[in-house]
Structures are given as structure tokens and as C-alpha cells.
Structure 1
Amino acid sequence: MNSTQKIALVTGGSRGLGRNTAIALSRKGIDVIVTYHTRKEDAEAVVKEIENNGRKAVALQLVPVTYPLLKLLHHGCPTC
């Protein structure tokens, strides 16, 4: 017996199309991870709605990273 549960990752899940997609997926029996940038309260409301649909959900804040920062993290200095 295969009892794998589907999990969706929805970026921008705190509002608009991302929110609607996350909620629609939960109604189809899929657990959802939603990401947000600054709208923590909105993302938490989406999580609550998904949980009210009987699914598991979590909201994660993702902060955009610029290329110079990636270069610094990868190489240890921005001019390398």
C-alpha cells in the first residue's frame, strides 16, 4: 500500500493568485507550503484556512537575494 501524501509549494501564497491556488490545492486534499515576503499575517490567514479545510499547511518567509549577495556568500568577497 502506497500512502504518500502530496505537498505543494506555492510561492506568493499570501495573496492573489498564490493564495487562491494554495486554497484550491488544499480542497483537493493536498498539503501546502506557502511562501511570503512581507505579509506574514496574510500568509498565516491562508494557513488557517487550509487547516480549516482539513489539510496541513505552513507559511515560510522568503527574502529575495540579490546577485552581489549570492556572490559574497559563495566566494567570500564581492570582487572575487
Structure 2
Amino acid sequence: MPRSVWKGPFADVLKKLPHVYRGTRRSMILPDWVGKTIEVHNGRAWRPINIVEDMIGHRLGEFAATRTKSPHKGAVLRARAMMKKKKGK
């Protein structure tokens, strides 16, 4: 369910560091943030995000993926086999 309009957008205060700002995943991107680089934690590392106008109204967490894609095991085996063939020639 979306947030009530009368409450306004929710945004935590950005923590200012020497070169970048750090924000929380739950914060909504505000128009004041356009042009800034904000670091967002994805559970493992801080990911820098450059804020542009199209991001206004979205959450910071949408731009810091928490999961990595792992290739299918069969595709990995096929790729290794192709590399061995190329080296053998």
C-alpha cells in the first residue's frame, strides 16, 4: 500500500561524508538530491548512485540490488568446454 498523500514523502536525513552522502534504502528520492552521489548499502557493500531527475519519487533501495545473478550450471560447463577447445587449436 502506498503512503498517504497528506503525510508527504518519507526521507531519512542523509549522512554527509567527505566525498559522498549516505542514505537509507527506505528513503524516497527528493528533488533536492538531483545531481548528488548517494551511497546505499545493499547488504554487503555501499553502492554509489548518481541521482537524476527520473529517479524522483522512487526509493533509494530500488537502485541498489541486493541479489547477484548466478549463471546456470550447464551454461558454465559449456563455456569452459569451448575455452578448452579454443586453447587446444
Rg larger in structure: 2
**Interval of TM-score (by shorter of Structure 1 and Structure 2):** under 0.3
Give the structure, 1 or 2, with the largest relative contact order (CA under 8 Å, sep 6 or more). 1
TM-score normalized by the length of structure 2? 0.20
